[in-house]
Amino acid sequence: MARSKTPTRYETLEIEKAHGVAVVWMNRPDVRNAFNETMIAEMTAAFRALDKDPEVRAVVLAGRGPAFCAGADLNWMKKMAGFSFAQNRRDALGMADMLAAIHGLSKPTVARVHGPAFAGGMGLLSACDIAVASQEAEFCLSEVKLGLVPATISPYVLAAIGVRAAHRYFLTAERFPAAEAYRIGLVQEIALSAELDTKVNEILGHLVQASPSALADSKGLIGSVAGKPIDRKLIGDTATRIARARASVDGKEGVRAFLEKRKPAWHPEAKPPRGAKAGG
Protein backbone atom coordinates (compact mmCIF):
# COMPACT_ATOMS: atom_id res chain seq x y z
CA MET A 1 0.00 0.00 0.00
CA ALA A 2 1.15 3.54 -0.69
CA ARG A 3 2.51 5.25 2.42
CA SER A 4 3.85 8.69 1.57
CA LYS A 5 1.24 11.20 2.62
CA THR A 6 0.46 14.25 0.50
CA PRO A 7 -0.99 17.49 1.86
CA THR A 8 -4.76 17.41 2.00
CA ARG A 9 -7.50 19.92 2.59
CA TYR A 10 -10.13 17.32 3.41
CA GLU A 11 -11.80 17.04 6.82
CA THR A 12 -13.02 13.46 6.48
CA LEU A 13 -10.44 11.91 4.15
CA GLU A 14 -6.70 11.30 3.98
CA ILE A 15 -5.05 10.74 0.61
CA GLU A 16 -1.68 9.06 0.15
CA LYS A 17 0.16 8.75 -3.15
CA ALA A 18 3.13 6.61 -4.09
CA HIS A 19 4.30 4.54 -7.07
CA GLY A 20 1.37 5.60 -9.26
CA VAL A 21 -1.26 4.62 -6.67
CA ALA A 22 -3.52 6.89 -4.61
CA VAL A 23 -5.09 5.57 -1.41
CA VAL A 24 -8.24 7.38 -0.32
CA TRP A 25 -8.67 6.74 3.40
CA MET A 26 -12.07 7.43 4.90
CA ASN A 27 -10.97 9.03 8.17
CA ARG A 28 -13.87 9.11 10.61
CA PRO A 29 -12.89 6.12 12.77
CA ASP A 30 -14.87 7.34 15.79
CA VAL A 31 -18.12 6.77 13.84
CA ARG A 32 -16.82 3.74 11.88
CA ASN A 33 -16.38 5.94 8.79
CA ALA A 34 -20.11 6.57 8.52
CA PHE A 35 -20.66 9.29 5.95
CA ASN A 36 -22.39 12.64 6.23
CA GLU A 37 -22.85 15.45 3.72
CA THR A 38 -19.26 16.63 4.23
CA MET A 39 -17.74 13.24 3.54
CA ILE A 40 -19.98 12.74 0.50
CA ALA A 41 -18.93 16.09 -0.98
CA GLU A 42 -15.25 15.48 -0.21
CA MET A 43 -15.30 11.95 -1.64
CA THR A 44 -16.87 13.23 -4.85
CA ALA A 45 -14.30 16.02 -5.15
CA ALA A 46 -11.39 13.70 -4.33
CA PHE A 47 -12.26 11.10 -6.96
CA ARG A 48 -12.87 13.73 -9.62
CA ALA A 49 -9.48 15.28 -8.83
CA LEU A 50 -7.72 11.90 -8.93
CA ASP A 51 -9.29 11.17 -12.30
CA LYS A 52 -7.46 14.21 -13.68
CA ASP A 53 -4.14 13.48 -11.93
CA PRO A 54 -1.71 12.10 -14.54
CA GLU A 55 0.54 10.60 -11.85
CA VAL A 56 -2.22 8.34 -10.51
CA ARG A 57 -2.62 5.00 -12.27
CA ALA A 58 -4.96 3.28 -9.78
CA VAL A 59 -6.97 4.23 -6.68
CA VAL A 60 -7.59 2.30 -3.46
CA LEU A 61 -10.56 3.09 -1.21
CA ALA A 62 -9.99 2.15 2.44
CA GLY A 63 -11.18 2.98 5.95
CA ARG A 64 -9.28 4.06 9.04
CA GLY A 65 -10.07 2.41 12.37
CA PRO A 66 -12.09 -0.79 12.96
CA ALA A 67 -14.51 -0.49 10.03
CA PHE A 68 -14.54 0.05 6.29
CA CYS A 69 -17.79 2.04 6.37
CA ALA A 70 -20.87 1.62 8.56
CA GLY A 71 -23.19 3.51 6.20
CA ALA A 72 -24.88 6.79 7.06
CA ASP A 73 -23.96 8.91 10.07
CA LEU A 74 -26.72 8.94 12.72
CA ASN A 75 -26.63 12.71 13.17
CA TRP A 76 -26.93 13.15 9.42
CA MET A 77 -29.89 10.76 9.38
CA LYS A 78 -31.59 12.75 12.15
CA LYS A 79 -31.22 15.91 10.12
CA MET A 80 -32.59 14.23 7.00
CA ALA A 81 -35.68 13.13 8.92
CA GLY A 82 -36.71 16.78 9.11
CA PHE A 83 -36.10 17.49 5.43
CA SER A 84 -38.84 18.02 2.87
CA PHE A 85 -39.12 15.67 -0.11
CA ALA A 86 -37.28 18.18 -2.31
CA GLN A 87 -34.48 18.58 0.25
CA ASN A 88 -34.16 14.81 0.64
CA ARG A 89 -33.96 14.36 -3.12
CA ARG A 90 -31.20 16.96 -3.44
CA ASP A 91 -29.34 15.26 -0.60
CA ALA A 92 -29.78 11.81 -2.20
CA LEU A 93 -28.48 13.13 -5.52
CA GLY A 94 -25.30 14.14 -3.73
CA MET A 95 -24.71 10.55 -2.65
CA ALA A 96 -25.64 9.27 -6.11
CA ASP A 97 -23.09 11.65 -7.64
CA MET A 98 -20.42 10.38 -5.22
CA LEU A 99 -21.04 6.76 -6.23
CA ALA A 100 -21.04 7.75 -9.91
CA ALA A 101 -17.71 9.56 -9.46
CA ILE A 102 -16.16 6.40 -8.01
CA HIS A 103 -17.73 4.03 -10.53
CA GLY A 104 -17.04 6.31 -13.49
CA LEU A 105 -13.35 6.85 -12.69
CA SER A 106 -11.27 6.20 -15.80
CA LYS A 107 -8.68 4.44 -13.62
CA PRO A 108 -8.97 1.08 -11.82
CA THR A 109 -10.38 1.23 -8.31
CA VAL A 110 -9.79 -1.29 -5.52
CA ALA A 111 -11.83 -1.43 -2.31
CA ARG A 112 -9.80 -2.57 0.72
CA VAL A 113 -12.52 -3.88 3.02
CA HIS A 114 -12.10 -4.74 6.69
CA GLY A 115 -14.61 -4.85 9.51
CA PRO A 116 -18.21 -3.77 8.83
CA ALA A 117 -19.32 -2.63 5.38
CA PHE A 118 -22.96 -1.80 5.94
CA ALA A 119 -25.67 -0.14 3.81
CA GLY A 120 -23.97 2.72 1.94
CA GLY A 121 -20.63 1.11 2.71
CA MET A 122 -21.68 -1.79 0.50
CA GLY A 123 -22.48 0.76 -2.18
CA LEU A 124 -18.98 2.20 -1.96
CA LEU A 125 -17.21 -1.12 -2.42
CA SER A 126 -19.64 -2.16 -5.17
CA ALA A 127 -18.87 1.03 -7.08
CA CYS A 128 -15.20 0.00 -7.19
CA ASP A 129 -13.87 -2.30 -9.90
CA ILE A 130 -12.27 -4.76 -7.51
CA ALA A 131 -13.01 -5.54 -3.85
CA VAL A 132 -10.68 -7.39 -1.47
CA ALA A 133 -11.99 -8.24 2.00
CA SER A 134 -10.37 -9.50 5.17
CA GLN A 135 -11.82 -12.70 6.63
CA GLU A 136 -13.47 -10.89 9.52
CA ALA A 137 -15.28 -8.38 7.30
CA GLU A 138 -19.05 -8.28 7.69
CA PHE A 139 -21.73 -7.03 5.30
CA CYS A 140 -25.33 -5.88 5.58
CA LEU A 141 -27.97 -4.02 3.60
CA SER A 142 -29.86 -2.78 6.65
CA GLU A 143 -32.15 -0.18 5.06
CA VAL A 144 -35.51 -2.00 5.25
CA LYS A 145 -35.20 -2.36 9.03
CA LEU A 146 -35.14 1.45 9.18
CA GLY A 147 -38.09 1.85 6.83
CA LEU A 148 -35.74 2.82 3.98
CA VAL A 149 -34.58 1.29 0.70
CA PRO A 150 -31.03 0.83 -0.72
CA ALA A 151 -31.93 2.99 -3.68
CA THR A 152 -28.88 5.02 -4.73
CA ILE A 153 -26.52 2.10 -4.15
CA SER A 154 -28.76 -0.43 -5.93
CA PRO A 155 -27.28 -0.14 -9.48
CA TYR A 156 -23.81 -0.97 -8.17
CA VAL A 157 -24.78 -3.64 -5.64
CA LEU A 158 -27.08 -5.37 -8.15
CA ALA A 159 -24.30 -5.41 -10.73
CA ALA A 160 -22.01 -7.01 -8.14
CA ILE A 161 -24.26 -9.66 -6.56
CA GLY A 162 -26.99 -10.25 -9.14
CA VAL A 163 -30.77 -10.12 -8.88
CA ARG A 164 -31.27 -13.39 -6.99
CA ALA A 165 -28.92 -12.50 -4.13
CA ALA A 166 -30.38 -9.00 -4.04
CA HIS A 167 -33.85 -10.45 -3.43
CA ARG A 168 -32.51 -12.08 -0.30
CA TYR A 169 -30.23 -9.42 1.15
CA PHE A 170 -32.22 -6.32 0.16
CA LEU A 171 -35.27 -7.86 1.86
CA THR A 172 -33.90 -9.68 4.91
CA ALA A 173 -31.32 -7.06 5.94
CA GLU A 174 -29.37 -9.92 7.52
CA ARG A 175 -25.66 -9.71 8.17
CA PHE A 176 -23.38 -12.02 6.23
CA PRO A 177 -19.66 -12.85 6.38
CA ALA A 178 -16.82 -12.45 3.92
CA ALA A 179 -17.19 -16.03 2.69
CA GLU A 180 -20.77 -15.32 1.59
CA ALA A 181 -19.73 -11.99 0.06
CA TYR A 182 -17.19 -13.93 -2.01
CA ARG A 183 -19.74 -16.59 -2.99
CA ILE A 184 -22.23 -14.05 -4.36
CA GLY A 185 -19.58 -11.97 -6.12
CA LEU A 186 -19.58 -8.89 -3.88
CA VAL A 187 -15.83 -9.29 -3.27
CA GLN A 188 -13.36 -11.05 -5.57
CA GLU A 189 -10.72 -11.93 -2.96
CA ILE A 190 -10.61 -12.79 0.74
CA ALA A 191 -7.43 -12.49 2.78
CA LEU A 192 -6.30 -12.97 6.35
CA SER A 193 -6.32 -9.64 8.17
CA ALA A 194 -2.52 -9.57 8.35
CA GLU A 195 -2.29 -10.28 4.61
CA LEU A 196 -4.94 -7.84 3.38
CA ASP A 197 -2.46 -5.19 2.22
CA THR A 198 -0.30 -7.84 0.57
CA LYS A 199 -3.23 -9.04 -1.51
CA VAL A 200 -4.21 -5.46 -2.44
CA ASN A 201 -0.61 -4.71 -3.42
CA GLU A 202 -0.50 -7.84 -5.56
CA ILE A 203 -3.49 -6.63 -7.55
CA LEU A 204 -2.08 -3.11 -7.81
CA GLY A 205 1.15 -4.59 -9.16
CA HIS A 206 -0.79 -5.93 -12.13
CA LEU A 207 -2.78 -2.73 -12.67
CA VAL A 208 0.20 -0.36 -12.83
CA GLN A 209 1.83 -2.49 -15.55
CA ALA A 210 -1.10 -1.92 -17.93
CA SER A 211 -1.58 0.90 -20.41
CA PRO A 212 -3.54 3.75 -18.75
CA SER A 213 -5.51 4.40 -21.91
CA ALA A 214 -6.27 0.70 -22.39
CA LEU A 215 -7.48 0.46 -18.78
CA ALA A 216 -9.83 3.41 -19.31
CA ASP A 217 -11.08 1.98 -22.60
CA SER A 218 -11.57 -1.47 -21.04
CA LYS A 219 -13.70 0.03 -18.28
CA GLY A 220 -15.79 1.76 -20.94
CA LEU A 221 -16.01 -1.49 -22.89
CA ILE A 222 -17.48 -3.37 -19.93
CA GLY A 223 -20.18 -0.76 -19.45
CA SER A 224 -21.05 -0.78 -23.15
CA VAL A 225 -21.16 -4.56 -23.63
CA ALA A 226 -22.62 -5.89 -20.36
CA GLY A 227 -26.22 -7.01 -20.77
CA LYS A 228 -26.41 -6.07 -24.45
CA PRO A 229 -27.64 -8.51 -27.12
CA ILE A 230 -24.96 -9.81 -29.50
CA ASP A 231 -26.35 -8.17 -32.61
CA ARG A 232 -24.80 -6.37 -35.59
CA LYS A 233 -24.71 -3.10 -33.67
CA LEU A 234 -22.69 -4.60 -30.81
CA ILE A 235 -20.43 -6.52 -33.19
CA GLY A 236 -19.71 -3.34 -35.12
CA ASP A 237 -19.06 -1.39 -31.94
CA THR A 238 -16.53 -3.93 -30.65
CA ALA A 239 -14.74 -3.98 -34.01
CA THR A 240 -14.52 -0.18 -33.95
CA ARG A 241 -13.10 -0.24 -30.41
CA ILE A 242 -10.29 -2.70 -31.18
CA ALA A 243 -9.45 -0.88 -34.43
CA ARG A 244 -9.19 2.38 -32.49
CA ALA A 245 -7.00 0.71 -29.86
CA ARG A 246 -4.67 -0.79 -32.50
CA ALA A 247 -4.20 2.64 -34.09
CA SER A 248 -3.63 4.42 -30.77
CA VAL A 249 -0.25 5.51 -29.41
CA ASP A 250 -0.39 2.96 -26.60
CA GLY A 251 -1.61 0.22 -28.92
CA LYS A 252 1.28 0.70 -31.31
CA GLU A 253 3.80 1.03 -28.48
CA GLY A 254 2.49 -2.09 -26.73
CA VAL A 255 2.72 -4.30 -29.79
CA ARG A 256 6.13 -2.88 -30.73
CA ALA A 257 7.45 -3.48 -27.20
CA PHE A 258 6.15 -7.06 -27.23
CA LEU A 259 7.85 -7.80 -30.52
CA GLU A 260 11.08 -6.15 -29.35
CA LYS A 261 10.95 -8.07 -26.05
CA ARG A 262 11.07 -4.95 -23.87
CA LYS A 263 8.82 -3.15 -21.38
CA PRO A 264 6.37 -0.67 -22.97
CA ALA A 265 6.90 3.01 -22.23
CA TRP A 266 4.15 3.18 -19.56
CA HIS A 267 5.56 0.25 -17.57
CA PRO A 268 7.10 1.25 -14.19
CA GLU A 269 10.28 -0.65 -15.09
CA ALA A 270 10.56 0.65 -18.66
CA LYS A 271 14.00 1.90 -19.63
CA PRO A 272 14.21 5.44 -21.07
CA PRO A 273 14.86 5.73 -24.83
CA ARG A 274 18.48 5.74 -25.91
CA GLY A 275 19.99 9.19 -25.70
CA ALA A 276 17.51 10.43 -23.08
CA LYS A 277 19.09 12.19 -20.11
CA ALA A 278 18.26 10.98 -16.62
CA GLY A 279 15.74 13.23 -14.95
CA GLY A 280 15.17 15.35 -18.04
Backbone conformation region of residue 208, classed left if phi is above 0, alpha if psi is from -120 to 50, else beta: alpha
Non-local (6+) Cβ contacts of 144 within 8 A are 170, 171, 173
**Length of the chain counted residue by residue:** 280
Q: Where are the alpha helices (DSSP H) in 184-260?
A: 196-207, 212-225, 232-247, 249-259
The answer to whether residues 91 and 40 touch, using CB atoms and an 8 Å cutoff, is no
Distance CA 207, CA 251 (A): 17
Three-state SS at 225? helix
The residues that are catalytic are 143
Distance, CA of 128 to CA of 110 (rounded, Å): 6
- The span from the CA of 71 to the CA of 28, in Å, is 12
Select from 107, 119, 162 the least CA-distant residue to 32: 119
End-to-end CA distance of the chain: 28
